């Protein structure tokens, strides 16, 4: 069904809560695992109905912020979501305590039960007021960032519109843009410091109330980190520091030369070529059409997927007035439809939508018939492998998007992917230090960041831009505020996607088959098991990172 024809009906939370209570009762009265498994299907139906309505309302609200109906629906969902998740957790508890657990684990998978256990540890009635306060604090930060008004060359811009100036091919424009961004942050940094300080204290209090030693442990539960722990991540960071940092430093030196500079400064972040980064050549319509041709060529599965997406009008990617900013992929279960939302703006970011977001959508599409809904509950370190690997699998078609400059694009893409790893790891280490030391002052936090910059990005000079020189860069990184500890996931996934890149250069077809296998596994097993099943090495094993660096170095240096 075309997206525009999908009917919408508001779910009634009172009715839903009642139905969940009835299902809990039925589960408690059930006489066998088989019976419980059948009742669980009714629960899945409720969840699918809810997610379908929620996603339709959410997308339609983003598609037109002036639509009053969906504005109201969006507010309604904001209000009822905590009640809905509470009801679902209550239901999970009933299943978790089942006397037929062994049978259910076999049918639903052990990960389902492990995640239930983690959810159960992460919440209690007692901390609800703290959670509400936490939401209010993150909303305050989001609002400051979203409503930024930056004066630049006689006009006013928000932070995302400043992006193209900060990456302009003219270094003077970049310098001026960075100064304007820095000046704006200097005006709000005290308030952001105060918000973050309250967030750290609030989150620490939540953790203590739940019996955790620090917020880090609670965050690992909330992120469903069910197959690796803090020690694994720490060892992984060590490997990135030891092997990726010097590798990226070499890449930076090469890039500085290409740009005609002695050393990179913050003005060169995201800038790869003297005459500007490569941009796609066609109109937005042509980009989509080229995308369809590309996926037709790539494999029978991707052809079926992309034809389905186009036929059912499941892309809303052209820029339009009254459309929300940003981009994402989501899934509408009752219509087995992925949906991709974005705002094409003529930069290489438009192609990322066609490769990265389509990678997420493809994974949802090929697992659409999986009857176990919990398998869709993917950890981000797994989900990002699907999308990041697709960026590499589509390398062979980039000529269709970038014309003469496709080689520049490929060079930029691989360099950018490598350059991200030290930064992503630094964001993770920063948060570990912050939550291990919740009494740190705002000045100490900025000093910590500055020190980390020296360890992870010594090849970038931040001294000329006041706010960055102070150690304030992290205040631009919304994840640190909104979704704490969600970041190393990108780095872990990237290490797996890079392994696919190395494999496909050797044997494209064999690598694609393994990738397909991984997509099909969805979230049916633990991250560390699934990657092993498809022949990838675990990023946590010593020697894996250095091997990737050695192989990539041959391609890019």
Minimum Å gap between C-beta 473 and Zn ion is: 22
Minimum Å gap between C-beta 474 and Zn ion is: 21
Minimum Å gap between C-beta 516 and Zn ion is: 18
Task: Indicate whether 376 belongs to the interface with Zn ion (CB under 5 A).
Answer: no
* Radius of gyration for the alpha carbons in the chain, expressed in angstroms and rounded: 24
Q: Residue 349 or 458: which CB sits closer to Zn ion?
A: 349
The residues facing 265 across adjacent strands are 461
Minimum Å gap between C-beta 509 and Zn ion is: 25
Site string for Zn ion, 181-210 (x = CB under 5 A): ------------------------------
Q: Which of 509, 503, 513, 515 is nearest to 551 (CA)?
A: 503
| Part in contact with Zn ion (CB under 5 A); list of ranges 120-128, 233-241, 259-267, 387-395 | 387-395
Q: Residue 30 or 378: which CB sits closer to Zn ion?
A: 378
Chain position carrying tokens 């969600």: 486
Inter-CA distances, 72 with 15, 51, 328, Å: 19, 17, 22
Q: Residue 225 or 386: which CB sits closer to Zn ion?
A: 386
For the chain, the first-to-last Cα distance in angstroms comes to 48
| Part in contact with Zn ion (CB under 5 A); list of ranges 100-108, 160-168, 381-389, 549-557 | 381-389
The number of C-alpha atoms within 13 Å of 373 and in the hemisphere containing its C-beta is 17
Q: Residue 92 or 376: which CB sits closer to Zn ion?
A: 376
Minimum Å gap between C-beta 308 and Zn ion is: 20
Separation between Cα atoms, residue 181 and residue 175, nearest integer Å: 10
Is residue 52 helix, strand or coil?
A: helix
Is residue 227 helix, strand or coil?
A: coil
Sign of CA dihedral 535, 540, 542, 544: positive
Q: Residue 11 or 327: which CB sits closer to Zn ion?
A: 327
Residues 6+ apart with CB under 8 A from 497: 384, 385, 388, 389, 391, 392, 417
Q: Residue 98 or 387: which CB sits closer to Zn ion?
A: 387
Separation between Cα atoms, residue 291 and residue 495, nearest integer Å: 26
Minimum Å gap between C-beta 257 and Zn ion is: 32
- Kindly tell me which residue out of 204, 387, 400, 425 binds Zn ion, with binding defined by CB under 5 A: 387
Q: Residue 312 or 387: which CB sits closer to Zn ion?
A: 387
Please report, as residue ranges, which positions from 276 to 335 form the binding site for Zn ion (by CB under 5 A): none
Q: Residue 360 or 446: which CB sits closer to Zn ion?
A: 360
Name the residue whose CB lies closest to Zn ion: 387
| Part in contact with Zn ion (CB under 5 A); list of ranges 171-179, 212-220, 372-380, 382-390 | 382-390
Is residue 422 helix, strand or coil?
A: helix
Phi, psi (degrees; rounded to nearest 5) at 10: -70, 125
Separation between Cα atoms, residue 509 and residue 526, nearest integer Å: 25
Q: Residue 45 or 347: which CB sits closer to Zn ion?
A: 347
Q: Residue 280 or 361: which CB sits closer to Zn ion?
A: 361
Minimum Å gap between C-beta 390 and Zn ion is: 10
Minimum Å gap between C-beta 384 and Zn ion is: 5
How deeply is 439 buried, as exposed, middle or buried, from its count of CB atoms within 10 A (0-12, 13-18, 19+)? Answer: exposed
Minimum Å gap between C-beta 406 and Zn ion is: 23
Q: Residue 376 or 387: which CB sits closer to Zn ion?
A: 387
Separation between Cα atoms, residue 447 and residue 434, nearest integer Å: 11
Size of the site for Zn ion (CB under 5 A): 1
Residues 6+ apart with CB under 8 A from 11: 49, 50, 53, 54
Minimum Å gap between C-beta 501 and Zn ion is: 16
Separation between Cα atoms, residue 472 and residue 480, nearest integer Å: 12
Inter-CA distances, 465 with 161, 181, 189, 460, Å: 19, 9, 14, 12
Q: Strand 150-152 and strand 460-461: pairing?
A: unpaired
Please report, as residue ranges, which positions from 457 to 516 form the binding site for Zn ion (by CB under 5 A): none
| Part in contact with Zn ion (CB under 5 A); list of ranges 16-24, 120-128, 203-211, 379-387 | 379-387
Q: Residue 360 or 405: which CB sits closer to Zn ion?
A: 360
Is residue 117 helix, strand or coil?
A: helix
Minimum Å gap between C-beta 380 and Zn ion is: 8
Minimum Å gap between C-beta 32 and Zn ion is: 41
Binding site for Zn ion (CB under 5 A): 387
């Amino acid at each position: 069904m075309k997206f525009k024809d999908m009917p919408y009906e508001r779910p009634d939370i009172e009715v839903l809560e009642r139905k969940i209570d009835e299902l809990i009762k039925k589960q408690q009265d059930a006489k066998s695992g088989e019976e419980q498994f059948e009742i669980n299907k009714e629960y899945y139906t409720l969840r699918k109905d809810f997610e379908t309505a929620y996603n339709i309302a959410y997308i339609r609200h983003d598609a037109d912020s002036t639509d009053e109906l969906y504005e109201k629906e969006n507010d309604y969902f904001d209000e009822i979501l905590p009640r809905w998740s509470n009801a679902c957790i209550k239901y999970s508890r009933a299943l978790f305590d089942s006397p037929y657990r062994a049978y259910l684990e076999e049918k639903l998978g052990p990960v389902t039960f492990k995640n239930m256990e983690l959810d159960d540890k992460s919440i209690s009635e007692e901390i609800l007021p703290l959670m509400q306060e936490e939401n209010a604090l993150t909303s305050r930060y989001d609002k400051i960032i979203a409503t930024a008004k930056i004066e630049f060359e006689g006009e006013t811009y928000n932070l995302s519109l400043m992006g193209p100036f900060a990456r302009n091919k003219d270094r003077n424009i970049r310098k001026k843009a960075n100064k304007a961004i820095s000046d704006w942050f200097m005006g709000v940094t005290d308030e952001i410091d105060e918000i973050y300080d309250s967030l750290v204290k609030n989150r620490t209090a939540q953790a203590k109330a739940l019996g955790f030693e620090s917020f880090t442990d609670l965050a690992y539960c909330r992120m469903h980190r069910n197959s690796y722990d803090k020690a694994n991540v720490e060892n992984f960071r060590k490997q990135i520091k030891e092997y990726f940092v010097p590798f990226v430093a070499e890449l930076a030196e090469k890039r500085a030369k290409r740009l005609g500079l002695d050393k990179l400064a913050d003005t060169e972040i995201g800038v790869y070529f003297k005459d500007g980064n490569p941009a796609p050549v066609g109109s937005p319509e042509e980009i989509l059409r080229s995308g369809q041709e590309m996926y037709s060529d790539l494999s029978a599965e991707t052809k079926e997927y992309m034809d389905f997406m186009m036929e059912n009008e499941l892309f809303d990617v052209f820029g339009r007035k009254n459309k929300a900013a940003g981009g994402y992929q989501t899934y509408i279960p009752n219509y087995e439809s992925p949906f991709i939302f974005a705002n094409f703006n003529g930069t290489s970011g438009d192609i990322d939508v066609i490769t990265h977001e389509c990678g997420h959508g493809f994974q949802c599409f090929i697992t659409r018939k999986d009857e176990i809904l919990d398998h869709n509950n993917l950890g981000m370190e797994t989900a990002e492998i699907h999308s990041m690997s697709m960026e590499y699998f589509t390398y062979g078609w980039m000529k269709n998007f970038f014309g003469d400059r496709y080689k520049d694009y490929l060079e930029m893409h691989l360099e950018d992917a490598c350059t991200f790893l030290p930064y992503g790891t630094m964001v993770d280490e920063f948060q570990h230090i912050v939550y291990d030391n919740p009494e740190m002052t705002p000045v100490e936090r900025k000093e910590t960041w500055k020190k980390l910059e020296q360890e992870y990005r010594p090849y970038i000079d931040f001294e000329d831009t006041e706010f960055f020189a102070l150690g304030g860069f992290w205040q631009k990184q919304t994840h640190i505020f909104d979704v704490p500890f969600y970041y190393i996931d990108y780095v872990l996934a990237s290490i797996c996607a890079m392994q696919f890149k190395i494999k496909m250069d050797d044997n494209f077809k064999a690598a694609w088959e393994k990738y397909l296998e991984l997509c099909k596994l969805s979230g049916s097993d633990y991250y560390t098991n699934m990657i092993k099943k498809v022949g990838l090495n675990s990023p946590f094993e010593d020697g894996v990172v250095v091997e990737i660096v050695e192989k990539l170095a041959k391609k890019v240096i």
